[in-house]
Amino acid sequence: MPIQVLINLFIAFLWMFLQDDWSVLSFFSGYLVGIIVLIVLEKFFKAPLYLRSLLAILKLFFVFIWELFTSSILVIRQVIRPRINITPGIFTIETELEGELEVTLLALLLSLTPGSVVVEVSHDNKVFYIHAMDIPESSESVIVSKDRFEKAIKKVTRK
């Protein structure tokens, strides 16, 4: 994948050189020409086109932003009540992810969303122990978030 980025940048600079126009617009048009060349030559690379990975990373980022927003709303609703009525606790969820990178990324994303913290991961990396601010509401929210994060992480890390 890094070689594809370098080839694309080389084509963009070559385009600027051949156009004898050192501007952002010329570079951008050369970059687009490089993308078209890489799409045509994609079958000759061992790795998939780097733009597919970039789009998967962007999708994971937007899924995280959405889950961050929705879980923040849940926490704000709990906090602004006149009388706080929460039942904190620890629950477990299982994951289908494999490998340290995928499991660590899921644990970090779940911990970064408000209302939940990954306390521990089992030795086989299949079970997360999660502390939630309010067990009935937060646990359901965390399970939905986990499913969305898992799908997005799989698209990023697996080919």
How would you write the pLDDT of the chain (159 residues) with one tens digit per residue? 678 888 889 999 998 988 888 888 999 999 999 989 888 888 887 777 788 888 999 999 999 999 999 888 888 888 888 888 888 899 999 999 988 999 999 999 999 888 889 999 999 999 999 998 888 878 888 888 999 999 999 998 886
Report pLDDT for 1.
Answer: 67
Report helix, strand or coil for 96: coil
DSSP state of 47: S
> Quick one: three-class SS letters along 131-152?
EECCHHHHHHHHHHHHHHHHHH
Report pLDDT for 121.
Answer: 93
Whole-model pTM: value is: 0.77
Report pLDDT for 90.
Answer: 92
- Name all contacts of 76-83 with Cβ < 8 Å and 24+ positions apart: 78/115, 78/133, 78/134, 78/137
